[in-house]
Structure 1
Amino acid sequence: MALIYISLGSNIEPSRYLQAGLRSLRECFGPLKLSSMYESEAVGFSGTNFLNMVASAETDLNIAEVVALFKQIEQNHGRLVGAKKFSPRTLDLDLLLFDDLVCQTPVVLPRAEIVNNAFVLWPLSELAPELIHPVLHKSYATLWDEYDKDSQRLWPVTFEWPVGLTF
């Protein structure tokens, strides 16, 4: 079983789509571990704020199967195929880590956004503070401590999960 870390984000009806995305991930992978929810300003374009978090799960799928599954879940929840990279979205699922694998295909791992974007690094450092980045050889807690926190606005938010929703 591989341990995977998943970045989730939305700025179109984010409460609705993040809950739906998490339900789909739970159906596919079983129990999930979740970071706190964070709100951030849009990065790369002008738009409404995003809600972001990181989840972890275990899987027997290979990387290509996981990425294809994420694309299908996104599309099932209103993500438009071929939409611009920097644009509003109902649901964005990105594979951040697949165990400690370093690769270029079928996706680049570890994902560069981990160290480039506060909305990925802060929740990842919360969920896996002692885990070591397989290229930089630093823990995610250390990477977050060293991150220029003035470069992107990000803050934790209270997120009301529906009664009975478990992960």
Structure 2
Amino acid sequence: MAEVFLSLGSNIDRERHIRAGLDALTEQFGALRVSRVFESEAVGFDGDDFYNLVVGIHTRLPVGQLALHLRKIEDDNGRLRAGPKFSARTLDIDILLYDDLTGTIDGVKLPRGEIQKNAFVLQPLAELAPGHRHPITGETFAQMWVEYDKSKQKLWPVKFSWP
């Protein structure tokens, strides 16, 4: 089975949609590994703050089928796709890592570039999988977080309970 890390985010009715996303992932994949939830300012547009976290799953689904399943979870939670790329959203689920695969697989670029660019992805990933290595750079996620310029994006943990 493949080890996969996913990024979840929401800035519309955040708690409800993050919980619904976690519930749907649990229903499909069983037990999840879940980071803390972090709040961050919107990146790329003016909007309400986001809740973000990283989830680890195991799956036998190939990358393309997994991406379709995640898209359905987003759609089931009211995700609108007609607007600009950077906009408010009910639920966003991205595949960050699928084992150590690199390149574009079934239309999904792996590893996802946001790992190196966005604190709201890197910090929860480093928390959840500190010793795992980035499949291209070879650095651990813990080391990447230590070296990340934390002045670039504001990020703070929030109280969030989910079964």
Query: Partners of 1:143 and 1:6 in 2: how far apart?
Result: 18
Query: What is the Cα-based RMSD across aligned positions, in Å?
Result: 0.8
Q: CA deviation at 1:160?
A: 3.0
Q: Which residue of 2 aligns with 1:159?
A: 160
Identify the residue that residue 85 of structure 1 maps to in structure 2: 85
| Offset of residue 103 of structure 1 | 1.7
Partner of 2:17: 17
Percent identity over the alignment?
A: 50
- SS for the counterpart of 2:58 is strand
2:73 aligned with 1:73, yes or no? Answer: yes
Q: Runs of at least 4 residues of structure 1 off by over 4 A?
A: none
Structure 2 SS opposite 1:108: strand
Aligned residues: 162
Q: TM-score, normalised by structure 1?
A: 0.95
* CA distance in structure 2 between the partners assigned to 1:21 and 1:83 by the alignment: 21
Gaps of 5+ in 1: none
**1:121 aligns to what?**
122
Aligned to 2:35: 35
CA shift, 1:82, in A, is 3.0
Letter in 1 for 2:88: P
Per-residue Cα deviation, 1:67-126 (whole angstroms, up to 9, x for no partner): 111111000000013332100000000000000110213211000000100000000000
Report whether the alignment pairs 1:56 with 2:56: yes
Tell me the SS of whatever aligns to 1:6.
strand
Question: Which residue type is aligned with residue 146 of structure 1?
Answer: E
* AA of the residue aligned to 2:145: W
In the alignment, what sits opposite 2:104? 104
